Structures are given as structure tokens and as C-alpha cells.
Amino acid sequence: MIDLITEELLTRRIPARYGGQVIPDRPGYYAIFVTCSGDLPGWLRCAIDQSGLLYLGIARKSLETRLFRQELRHKSPATFFRGLGATLGYRPPVGSLCGKSNQKNYKFSPENTAAIITWIDANLEISWVVSDMPEHKVEKAMIRKLAPPMNTAHNQKALPQLSQLRVECREIACRGSQASRNGSQE
């Protein structure tokens, strides 16, 4: 089963910019590929194989919501979008997570979010496989087998540079959180 899903994900792709028109509102698995990696840092370009695979994911409820709205448009928290934005050199607004209960789900400014979406539309392709009951163990097995460079969990080839960028972005977005709690200012 894993091999069939993997094969379908790797062979049936469309430009990301068309995703909102065709991605089904059904559960399943998805993959994100880069077609032109020139804007990405060298450490990431070196980790991308000939398929261009960047990221694999699972949508427990809706591929349209998880893949398109979250991962490609950042309408709500999405690991891939945040990681991609960071690798492209964008950073969240300083202190933007101050007072928020979740201190990990940073966002970029509206202008930077728009620039990242423009880059996605010009450089990424996507694929998906509908599955009525997608399983995390299948997602994990595919990540272990294919080692997509933007996946950090379950990936034996996880890139430390990506993890460092995510930490840097969280630190920027949380700046001032400690001061706010103490009643002092930075």
C-alpha cells in the first residue's frame, strides 16, 4: 500500500497555483515539489533529489484545507509554509507571538506572506492521494523512505539548518513575551 501511494504522489503533479481549483475536500496524503530551486539556500538545494520532492504530509479531514489553505496559503498554522518562508529569508514580526498561548505558530507579515505565496505559485508543484482513513504510520513510513528535506519529524536526514531557522523565527516572534509577563519593557 505504501509503495502505491508513494508512486502516485511522485508521478501525478500539478502546479501549486491551481490547487485551490482542484484539490478535493477529502482526507488523504500529499506531496510538495520544487520545480526551480534557485532562490533556495545551497544547503537545501543540495538535499533535494531529482524528483524535486520537498515535503510529504497527511490531511486527516480535508486535503483542500490542509494542503491548499494551510500549507500553500497559510490561512492557519502550517509547518511547511513557515519553514519555506524562513528558508527564503523571511522572518516574523518581532513580538508577534507575545501574549499568545501557542508560542510556536509564528506568522509572517501580510506583505511577506503574499511574497511567499507568489514564490510558491511560481516554483512549486503538488500531488495528493485521497484516502478515506489516512494513517500516520503510512505518512511516517513514506517520510523515512523518501527523506523529503522540509520534513523534520521522522526524517533520518532532517536538516539542522531548517530546525535552526525555525527556532530563530520563534525567538523573534516571542521577543518581548518575557518582558510582557514581568511588566517590564525591552
In the chain, where are the structural domains located? 2-172
Task: Give pLDDT, residue 23.
Answer: 98
CA proximity to 130, closest of 22, 18, 17: 22
Mean pLDDT to the nearest integer, 46-59? 96
Indicate whether 34 pLDDT > 60.
yes
Mind listing the pLDDT tens digit for each residue in 149-183? 999 999 999 999 999 999 999 999 998 644 333 33
Return phi, psi of residue 36, to 5°.
-140, 110
Task: Give pLDDT, residue 167.
Answer: 95
DSSP state of 69: I
Mean pLDDT to the nearest integer, 29-47? 94
The cell 505504501 sits on which residue?
2
Task: Kindly report the average pLDDT of the chain as a whole number.
Answer: 92
Rg over alpha carbons for the chain, rounded to the nearest Å, is 17
Mind listing the pLDDT tens digit for each residue in 2-33? 999 999 999 999 999 999 999 999 999 999 99
Mean pLDDT to the nearest integer, 41-58? 95
Task: Give pLDDT, residue 38.
Answer: 87
The three-class DSSP label of residue 54 is: strand
Strand order in 14-15's β-sheet? 14-15, 124-130, 28-34, 53-59
Task: Give pLDDT, residue 181.
Answer: 33
